[in-house]
Chains A and B, each alone.
Chain A
């Protein structure tokens, strides 16, 4: 079975359209982001208190909200888990300082208030209390890890391939990160530790796909010496198209199972991965190679400056534009 039989699409012709589409998605993401005052931070980064309660019988969010009304600050009370789970999540903002022991005061208050309000019998599923020191620490580390891994991957690709390819791969990676964040914003997810982990995984995954194409480009340099870089790249994208789609498909299936059955805690993670996989595939085909060619510049629009092959053919023949 084959998805594509000898595909021969001229992807590079669409490169400016693709770049424009991506720019629109990212710009829309940024606009929504600004309108909402930034990506909502999960408790890991913002600090605060989350208490999840499981009631024995169904309760309304309203009754729990009323019960905890006397706690100052902006509170969130919402259903948690499956629709029939009778689980309620209560989130409180960061309170006071860490001096003294009042960090856990909020969680204690929620429990005693809900108990006193006679909403129903409940058990505490989980409690999370994160102080500002930890929140700030994790924010710093999260940014650091993302930047460091991008730099690491750039260096590796630059060593294994060439600099303009590294730029293409990294541009695609940044593209995927921005698109993912844009979709997180559209769907109202918050930035939690798990989501950051997913974004970091996406950086690795997105580059994976790109490397497969670049590898093929490198291989085709040897056999298609007389062709233009654009033509070689386009051929390589076409040759690897089947596997690009299929690998994305299998990973997508696995993560889809996680999204559907993995439970509430991993939902944000799975959603981020799903978006990242789709965006990663798209950027591999449309963005990475386009940028690599643009970056290779006018001087190399025809020939390649450092083909890993014997040099005798270099520059002998004038450029021929790809016709597909």
Chain B
């Protein structure tokens, strides 16, 4: 064996060893996609309008309160859209003072426009809108991540998705209780504790009769299920008039855990952080004897009486099952979502289907490899072994690549493997045919092999580049499983250049180096 050839063999063995090292043991190193191991794939959209609405409405509310405090009598305020609100009837003489207060309260986040009759329109600035939307998505991502981690899923994916900028991809491998997972991910979990001003009452009308049929400024009507029949049939609806501004919210929580209430029913115990404890202490201290509505996602869970000043602990009671109490503690711990979520796409693969697919994929690969191997041996005789070795090595390198870059093996990815078998052999065929041609033209065996490889190299390069272009765009376009296909195809093509040209040639040279061959079995 000459020195040159020895180095080639060493190179091949090193590449082979690296590839095997990269994917060994395959059970740990090769990631299976959801379609192979089962699990759920969700695409959610963050309703970022919610975040804008909250910003507009809290600013509007703050401005209204400040105006009332400074004795500027206005006709009213109203929210026009998620990004716009209006103040009507600002007295002409107090224009300047109004503007000063408005600028103070809106803190440069709004464009102000004045209209007829002392009407002012406030519109969120476009750059603020962009920031708020981005923040909402970012917060939602973090919140979902925390919740998914608490669910105890191995290797979950929570990532931004798509071009629109408001979509989130969640992949939970191996999760079987999809309903619960979805419920936990999307529950807004906005907890608010608000002082009850009026109620409870069985109807909205009865509730508002004391205030002349309309909702007083700075207050709102909330409802919930009347589990114990406070005001009517158990299970009916119960109404409260509460202050719009919450005493504390979920943000003031330090922790939440499932517990039992005094009647041994499931409940959720929460503790407050320092700031929350201070606020809560003040509100409860000033309002002993009144009721405090515990509102979750806009629904009243319960409205206990404040018996004494409370600082750092509280309990949410309602009609929970034990599991619900557990899930509620989980979402409260992970924090509220800044905006509600909607589902755009959901794909669930049961574990048995995944296992079936793995079996089918392995079966198809083996049969494919077998068919191709038989054909090559029959058609090219001993040179067929050469092709089989280089295709097998191509698959090993491909697997190593996939494991090394942490690519995910999906069912279409298996199809990519099988295509790699078929197309990998193409290059061998191209070379072999050329060698036959050169031998036919009267060249000696060694010269024919050399000429075959040299002449065909450019062709192989050209064909591979064309296929790589297609695979590249496929990757760009693909989601999940298709991306897996494009990845296998891409790396399969790359390693094929190496195996079909370098490995296969070395094998020929090895075979020819031993003897002074006059013939070649091809």
Q: Which residues of A contact B (CB under 8 A)?
A: 1-2, 52, 54, 98-101, 103-104, 107, 123-131, 133-134, 137-138, 141-142, 144-146, 148-149, 152-153, 156-157, 160, 193-194, 196-197, 200-201, 203-205, 207-208, 211-212, 215-216, 219, 239-240, 242-243, 246-247, 249-258, 260-263, 265-266, 269-270, 273
Contact = CB atoms under 8 A, between A and B. Distances in A.
Given A145-B473, A194-B482, A265-B357, A258 B368 contact: yes
Given A101-B343, A250-B425, A258-B368, A201 B474 contact: yes
Nearest to B179: A108
Nearest to A143: B477
Contacts of A103: 342-344, 346
A197 B421 CA distance: 18
A156 B466 contact: yes
B407 interface: no
Given A207-B466, A211-B459, A254-B421, A263 B360 contact: yes
Contacts, number: 233
Interface stretch (B50-58, B202-210, B235-243, B428-436): B428-436
Contacts of B474: 145, 149, 197, 200-201
B429 A262 contact: no
Interface of B: 35, 43, 45, 162-163, 178, 182, 186, 342-350, 352-353, 356-357, 360-361, 363-365, 367-372, 375-376, 378-381, 411-412, 414-415, 418-419, 421-423, 425-426, 429-430, 433-434, 436-437, 455, 458-459, 462-463, 465-474, 476-479, 481-482, 485-486, 489
A124 B477 CA distance: 30
A99 B411 CA distance: 32
29 contacts: A1-B379, A100-B342, A103-B343, A123-B350, A123-B352, A124-B348, A126-B353, A134-B344, A153-B466, A156-B466, A194-B482, A197-B486, A201-B471, A204-B466, A215-B462, A247-B429, A250-B375, A250-B422, A250-B425, A250-B429, A254-B421, A254-B425, A255-B418, A257-B364, A258-B368, A262-B361, A263-B356, A266-B360, A266-B412
Given A1-B378, A201-B489, A261-B363, A246 B343 contact: no
A266 B485 CA distance: 12
Given A125-B352, A254-B371, 14 more contacts: A52-B353, A129-B346, A133-B344, A148-B473, A207-B463, A208-B463, A212-B430, A215-B462, A243-B433, A246-B429, A247-B429, A254-B421, A254-B425, A263-B361
A131 B364 contact: no
B273 to A, nearest CB: 31
B481 A193 contact: yes
Highest count of chain A CB atoms <10 Å: which of B378, B421, B486? B421
- Chain A binding surface, main DSSP class: helix
A152 to B, nearest CB: 4
B466 A157 contact: yes
A246 B387 CA distance: 13
Contacts of B378: 1
Given A145-B477, A149-B474, A247-B430, A252 B422 contact: yes
Given A212-B430, A258-B418, A205 B371 contact: no
